[in-house]
Amino acid sequence: MNSNLGNFKLYNALQSTCSQRVRYTLHYKDLDFSMEILDLFSGDQLKPEYLAINPNGVVPAIDHNGKIIIDSSVIIEYLEDIDQDLNPLRPRKPEECANMRAMIRYFDEVAGPSVRIPSYNMAFLPHFQSMSEQEFLAVAESKPLRKEFLLKMGRTGFSDKDMNESTSKIKSTADRMENWLKESRGPYLLGENISYADICIMPIIVRMQDLGRPDLWETKKRVCDWFDVIQTSDIYEQTYCKGSLLSEVYPHLSKK
């Protein structure tokens, strides 16, 4: 365990895809950390004490020796910057690093927002349906980043058109990954070594599998091989500790 970098406290939620990126990185770097688990449906992320940590009212955030760092893709690169020799996850060559960051930007632009729509429709919607309209509007209003998203969903859920658009974006992401894996010759997106690009897309692919949609990449042989390699590591097991999958919490998903 690498403990000479001081103390890390991760504010996260087990099923949060963004939190899973950070947990994977901390485990990969063998950093000792404590976790504060927030209940996102009880509104822990919107309490004043957490908003003082992350004014966006979302997880994850990390406290490193009293310094607060927010946003998953920023946190994982911060964990690289504090000790670049500690089980590196970022290539040293500037052009390779730029390539990796361009992949991450694509994932954050295309796949990240898309995975939210099926996640809410298929798993989270009942939380909102059990509220009165007034309660729902108050919850939406209280979200610094997700007010418009929730209002668009309403208590009836996203439309089929929205669902189709998001699954087609995940499919396009898998197509991109297939090409990148072909160029790099795998097993990882940049080639021989795992990098932050793999870690950033991993939770989204896991989520879509959990929601019963592996068909979105099933015809892409390289993506399937990549996913097999990712899923068979100890670090993956540690990251996806008990309770990390939606199907464990929402039993109707495992009956699909």
Min CB(85)–ligand GSH separation in Å: 26
Min CB(192)–ligand GSH separation in Å: 27
Which residue number, 25 or 184, has a Cβ lying nearer to ligand GSH? 25
Contact 226, 187 (CB under 8 A): yes
Min CB(15)–ligand GSH separation in Å: 8
Which residue number, 20 or 167, has a Cβ lying nearer to ligand GSH? 20
Min CB(99)–ligand GSH separation in Å: 20
Show Cβ contacts of residue 71 under 8 Å, excluding neighbours closer than 6 positions: 56
Positions that interact with ligand GSH (CB under 6 A): 16-18, 40, 45, 57-60, 71-73, 143, 146
State the angle between helix axes of 196-210 and 221-231 in degrees (0 to 180), rounded to the nearest 10. 100
Which residue number, 171 or 207, has a Cβ lying nearer to ligand GSH? 207
- Among 82, 66, 149, which Cα is nearest to 74's? 82
Which residue number, 203 or 220, has a Cβ lying nearer to ligand GSH? 203
Min CB(162)–ligand GSH separation in Å: 17
C-alpha–C-alpha distance, residues 142 and 232, integer Å: 40
C-alpha–C-alpha distance, residues 135 and 148, integer Å: 16
Which residue number, 146 or 220, has a Cβ lying nearer to ligand GSH? 146
Query: How many alpha carbons lie under 13 Å from residue 156 in its C-beta half-sphere?
Result: 4
Run of H or E including 207: helix 196-210
Name the 3-class secondary structure at 31: strand
